[in-house]
Amino acid sequence: MSEIQSPHKIINLISGPRNISTALMYSFGNRKDTSVIDEPFYANYLTTHPLRDHPGKGEILASQPHAFGEVLNEILSKSVEVPYLFVKNMAHHLDQLDWSFLTKFDNLFLIREPKRLIASFAQVIPKPTMLDIGLALEWKIFEYLESKGNNPVVLDSSEILKSPKIVLSKLCAHLNMPFDEDMLSWSAGPRKEDGVWAKYWYKSVHKTTGFTQRKLSEHPFPDHLNELLKEAEGYYNKLKAFTIKAE
């Protein structure tokens, strides 16, 4: 593994899917002092989990390096170009990796109420697993980082949406970086940093110009996912105890 010696701050987001992770990436990307990277370990994950069938799998594999070391080197190379680098990761993309590299980053965990998360994800992948939604893995990585003295922070999408300015101001204080009003809004449409998977997952966020509440799904919650929901709620509640509040 490459030695991490970046003089600048790497802000690493570890999120579940169907959250507001892309909006948060756009928020940080709207700062003049910050660059962003969208899910750099996606191709690595699909390579190490060959049975996972994701929309646009072939395009994703062709768009990114597969080897862990190459991905990490790209992150480190980009981090020296700007004061702050924001890296958006899905928790499941970090499965089976050696997490020690994360101890050199400022880590954020993003969670969402499981019933809404699972119902939304199931509209794209009908039979999601605990690995897909990432909550168990988020908790395991959180515990690992705490054991290493990393001091990660947890964000709940519902708290961000209640008051983006308050939560992001508190987050910036935790990260020892100035809050920037530009984080609260951005231009609608795709961004150059979007991964090739954006056309499958980012249609809603491309219509936004800021953090907005999503409409509740009119689809009934699938009965076959009740067991997954019960397990997910346990991990969600553990992480929720550490969240930044909008108050």
Alpha-helical regions (H) of 80-186: 114-121, 130-133, 135-147, 157-162, 164-174
pLDDT in tens, 49-72: 998 888 899 999 999 999 999 999
Domains of the chain by start residue, with CATH: 9-240 (3.40.50.300)
Q: Collapse the DSSP code of 39 into the 3-class scheme (helix H, G, I; strand E, B; otherwise coil) and give the result.
A: coil
Dist CA 127 CA 33 (whole Å): 40
Provide the Cα torsion 195, 128, 222, 16; round to 10°: -50
Instruction: Tell me the pLDDT band of 217, cut-offs 50, 70 and 90.
Output: low
End-to-end Cα distance, the chain: 41
pLDDT in tens, 107-120: 999 999 999 889 88
What is the pTM for the complete model shown? 0.92
Sign, CA torsion 103/45/197/110: negative
